[in-house]
Structure 1
Amino acid sequence: MAEMIWQCDQVRAGQLYNRMIFNTKQEAVAFVQRMQAMEPDQMFSIEQVDARHVWN
C-alpha cells in the first residue's frame, strides 16, 4: 500500500497562494480552521495524495 499524505491548498482571488503538506487529515483540518479564523477571505481545499506524486 502506498503512503498517503494530505495536501492543503490555500487560494486567494482565484490564485494558488500556498500549499502545505500534512501527515494526517486531522492536522490539515486544524490548520484550515486556524487560518479561516485569521483570513476569512481565503478558500481552502484538502485532498489525500499519494506521497510518490509529491516526492521522488
Structure 2
Amino acid sequence: MSTSEQLKSFAQRQLWIQVTTKRVSDRLVEHSDEVVVYCAMVRVSIVNCPSYGPSC
C-alpha cells in the first residue's frame, strides 16, 4: 500500500467520522428531550441498583 493510498483512506475515514458525528449530533438535537429523559432513566436505574446495574 503506497503512502498516497494510505493518506486517501485515512482522509476518507476522517470524513466519514465527521459526517457520522454530525449526523448523530443532529439527531441528538432533534431528539434532545428523549435523550435527556433516557439519560435520567439510566442514571436513576444505576443509582437505585448499584449492585445489579441497568439489568435490574
Q: Give the TM-score, by structure 1 length.
A: 0.31
Higher helix fraction (1 or 2): 2
What is the TM-score normalised by the length of structure 2?
0.31
